[in-house]
Amino acid sequence: MSKPNIIVTRHVYPEALDHLAPHFNITDNQADKSYSLDEWIALLSQQDGALTMGIEPVNEQVLSACPKLRICANLSVGYNNFDVPAMTRHKVVATNAPDVLTETTADFGFALMMATARRITEGENYIRRGDWHKWKLDFFCGAEVHGSTLGIIGMGRIGQAIARRAAHGFGMKVIYHNRSRLALDKEADCKAQYVSKAELLQTADHVVLVVPYSKEAHHTIGAAELALMKPTATLVNIARGGIVDDAALAQALQSGQIAAAGLDVFEGEPKVHPDLLTCHNLVLTPHIASSTKSTRLGMAMLAANNLISFFNEGHVLTPLNPEVLS
């Protein structure tokens, strides 16, 4: 019997391709080329399955041009590139890659919050510019982290892992806001208290965003929300571009409405709003919150295993639309 055709849309660790090779005819992209929408549709229309990176659109337009397609396995936990209801209508299975990245991403969220609060990259840039001539008592005075109040918006697996670090490791008071309140045992495990979004913004010393992207979550933080925050507060976004109104954030940073911010994700990335680039009180990283070799390899292997299980056994490990399988 001939093997199914799959596409692996971007460069991946060779171990993942070796794992897939016995099961599939693979169109890979180890040269890491970017595709136009037309190229993407033309390539995908030849495939039975796809290992996608969380950025390629799989929507009504794409699906109607790809009648052979049976599964798309995202290598990311976020899946805002998928129109899941459209995939379900077209009987295309959708999977994502949760869990394997939770602790690594929480480490990074915490690190970005600390770098932002303690002005680490500002201090580094000062030294690199050759501006350091003498020590001063109030040099790059930052915000206290230990014992302060952390507000987490989006209390899924990654939010809870950040809360545990904050409460158990740094003696922080943790407050959170989420679509729904956590079960009491989960709240107790991360010593977190549920509050309204407004209360969180008004009282947190540090706000971390871990909410998945959806139309409803677009600009969860805009000018009105920034206006509620303390002038000494910091804001960190490790969720998705578009959760924060980046233009409004640049204004709040420039006017001193909030003290500082750390961004790993951007509206329209890899483009970055030009006003953000002029903010000295902003730590910038290029969407790397899950980026350690073992975690990214774990994500690639989970996506690969979803494809292998689907074609060999008719089930997947992390379904987003299980109704397609039943």
Q: Could you say which of 10, 177, 240, 296 is catalytic?
A: 240
> Which of 113, 172 has the CB closer to ligand 8YV?
113
* Shortest distance in whole angstroms from residue 211 CB to ligand 8YV: 12
Structure tokens at 14: 């060779």
Q: Binders of ligand 8YV among 281-300, rule CB under 6 A?
A: 289-290
Around Cβ 250, how many Cβ atoms within 10 Å? 19
Residues 6+ away with beta carbon under 8 Å from 238: 105, 108, 109, 112, 158, 208, 209, 210, 264, 265, 289
Under the criterion CB under 6 A, does residue 53 sit at the interface with ligand 8YV?
yes
> Which of 290, 318 has the CB closer to ligand 8YV?
290
* Shortest distance in whole angstroms from residue 128 CB to ligand 8YV: 28
287 is known as an active-site residue: yes
Cα–Cα–Cα angle for 12, 285, 78, rounded to 5 degrees:
55
> Which of 195, 297 has the CB closer to ligand 8YV?
297
Which segments of the chain does DSSP mark as H helices, in order? 14-20, 37-44, 60-64, 84-89, 102-117, 120-128, 157-164, 170, 184-189, 197-203, 223-228, 246-255, 274-277, 293-313
Per-residue contact string for residues 298-317; x = within reach of ligand 8YV by CB under 6 A = --------------------
Q: Could you say which of 10, 119, 287, 296 is catalytic?
A: 287
* Shortest distance in whole angstroms from residue 212 CB to ligand 8YV: 8
Interface segment toward ligand 8YV; rule CB under 6 A; list 51-59, 125-133, 144-152, 154-162: 51-59
The two most distant CA atoms of the chain are separated, in Å, by: 74
* Shortest distance in whole angstroms from residue 269 CB to ligand 8YV: 10
- Give the whole-angstrom CA distance, residue 243 versus residue 117: 21
With CB under 6 A, what is the number of residues at the site for ligand 8YV? 10
Under the criterion CB under 6 A, does residue 95 sit at the interface with ligand 8YV?
no
> Which of 122, 269 has the CB closer to ligand 8YV?
269
Around Cβ 140, how many Cβ atoms within 10 Å? 11
> Which of 149, 318 has the CB closer to ligand 8YV?
318
Spatial strand order in the sheet of 71-74: 25-27, 5-8, 49-52, 71-74, 93-95
Nearest one of 27, 36, 80, 29 to 58, comparing CA atoms: 80
> Which of 54, 154 has the CB closer to ligand 8YV?
54
- Give the whole-angstrom CA distance, residue 109 versus residue 102: 11
Per-residue contact string for residues 54-93; x = within reach of ligand 8YV by CB under 6 A = xx-------------------xxxx---------------
> Which of 55, 120 has the CB closer to ligand 8YV?
55
Cα–Cα–Cα angle for 131, 135, 140, rounded to 5 degrees:
75
* Shortest distance in whole angstroms from residue 53 CB to ligand 8YV: 4
List C-alpha distances in Å: 113 to 158, 230, 235, 319. Answer: 14, 16, 8, 32
296 is known as an active-site residue: no
Q: Binders of ligand 8YV among 215-244, rule CB under 6 A?
A: none
Q: Is the dihedral of CA 189, 191, 192, 193 positive or negative?
A: positive
* Shortest distance in whole angstroms from residue 299 CB to ligand 8YV: 7
* Shortest distance in whole angstroms from residue 76 CB to ligand 8YV: 3
Query: How far from the centroid of its chain's Cα atoms is residue 147's Cα?
Result: 27
Cite the active site residues: 240, 269, 287
Footprint on this chain of ligand 8YV (rule: CB under 6 A): 53-55, 75-78, 101, 289-290
